Amino acid sequence: MNLQAALFLLLSLTSALCNSNVNEALTYSDKNVNRIDEDLLQLAAIPSISSLPEHAKDIIAASQWLIDHLKSSGLENVQLLPTNAQPSVYAEWLKADGAPTVLVYGHYDVQPVDPLQLWNTPPFEPTVDRKKDMLFRGRGVSDDKGGLLQPIHAVEAFLKTSKQLPVNVKFLLEGQEEIGSPNLAELLHENAGLLKADIALSADGGQISAEHSGIALGLRGGIAFEVEAQTVDVDLHSGMKGGSVQNPIHALAQFVDNLHAPNGSVNVEGFYRGVRERTEEDKADAAAFPFDEAAEMASLGAMGPHGEEGFTTLERRWLRPTLDVVGIWGGFTGTGIKTIVPSKATAKISCRLVPDQDPVAILEALRAHTEGHAPPQTKLTFRKLPFHAQPYLMPRNTMANRAATKVLKGLFKGPFYYREGGSIPALALMKEHLGIWCTSFGFGLSTDNLHSPNERYMITMWDKGREAWIRLLQEISTEAALENASDAAKDEL
Residues from 161 through 180 that contact its own copies (CB under 8 A): 179-180
Q: Restricting to residues 108-147, name those near its own copies by CB under 8 A.
A: 111-112, 114, 118
Q: What is the footprint of its own copies within residues 415-444 (CB under 8 A)? A: 420-423
Measured from the CB of residue 325, what is the shortest distance to its own copies in angstroms?
4
Least distance CB 164 / its own copies (angstroms)? 38
Terminal Cα-to-Cα distance of the chain (whole angstroms): 14
The phi, psi pair for 414, rounded to 5°, reads 95, -150
Least distance in Å: CB of 441 to its own copies? 18
Shorter beta-carbon distance to its own copies: residue 101 or 247:
247
Evaluate the CA torsion angle 147, 429, 311, 304 in order and state its sign.
positive
Q: CA nearest 176: which of 113, 105, 114, 88?
A: 88
By beta-carbon proximity to its own copies, the closer residue of 290 and 410 is 290
Q: In whole angstroms, what is the distance from residue 194 CA to residue 333 CA? A: 51
Identity of residue 60: I
Nearer to its own copies, 33 or 185 (CB): 185
Kindly indicate which of the ranges 56-64, 129-137, 343-351, 358-366 contains the residues binding its own copies, using the contact rule CB under 8 A: 343-351
Exactly one of 98, 193, 376, 395 binds its own copies (CB under 8 A); that residue is 376
Indicate which single residue of 84, 131, 295, 336 sits in contact with its own copies (rule: CB under 8 A): 336
Q: How far apart are CA 25 and CA 20, in angstroms?
A: 9
Least distance from its own copies to the Cβ atom of residue 477, Å: 33
Q: Check whether the bond before 356 is cis (ω within 30° of 0).
A: yes
The secondary structure element, H or E, covering residue 106 is strand 101-107
Name the segment binding its own copies (CB under 8 A); options: 196-204, 236-244, 275-283, 466-474.
Answer: 236-244
Nearest approach, Cβ of residue 238 and its own copies (Å):
5
Q: What are the strands of the beta sheet with 127-129, ordered from one edge? A: 127-129, 135-137, 456-458
Q: Which of 386, 406, 413, 431 binds its own copies (CB under 8 A)?
A: 386
What does the H/E/C string look like for 190-217? HCHHHHCCCEEEECCCECCCCCEEEEEE
Distance of CA 155 to the CA centre of its chain: 22
Residue length of the chain: 493
Q: Which is nearer to its own copies, 37 or 308 (CB)?
A: 308
Using rule CB under 8 A, residue 308 touches its own copies: yes
- Shortest distance, position 362 Cβ to its own copies, whole Å: 14
| Distance of closest approach, residue 358 Cβ to its own copies, in angstroms | 18
Binding to its own copies, residues 288-307 (CB under 8 A): 297, 300-307
Smallest separation (angstroms) from its own copies to the CB of 345: 6
Of the candidates 74, 122, 270, 453, which one interacts with its own copies according to CB under 8 A? 453
Of these, 2, 84, 117, 333, which contacts its own copies (CB under 8 A)? 333
What 8-state DSSP symbol labels residue 238?
Answer: H
User: Of residues 42, 127, 246, 381, which one binds its own copies by CB under 8 A?
Assistant: 246
- 130, 160, 212, 260: which one contacts its own copies (CB under 8 A)? 260
3-class DSSP state of 492 = helix
Strand bridging mode 413-420 / 212-219: parallel
Closest CB to its own copies among 252 and 476? Answer: 252
**Residue in 268, 260, 218 with CA at minimum distance from that of residue 389:** 218
Q: 115: cis peptide before it, omega within 30°?
A: yes
DSSP state of 332: -
Site for its own copies in 179-208 (CB under 8 A): 179-180
CB neighbour list of residue 140: distance below 8 Å, 6 or more residues apart: 43, 44, 48, 110, 126, 146, 455
Site string for its own copies, 34-73 (x = CB under 8 A): -----------------xxx--------------------
Decide: is 149 part of the binding site for its own copies (CB under 8 A): no
**Beta bridge mates, 58:** none
The helix or strand, by DSSP H or E, that contains position 383, with its residue range, turns out to be strand 379-389
Q: Which of 95, 189, 379, 396 binds its own copies (CB under 8 A)?
A: 379
Could you give the CA distance from residue 289 to residue 300 in angstroms, rounded to a whole number? Answer: 19
Site for its own copies in 312-331 (CB under 8 A): 313, 316-317, 320-331
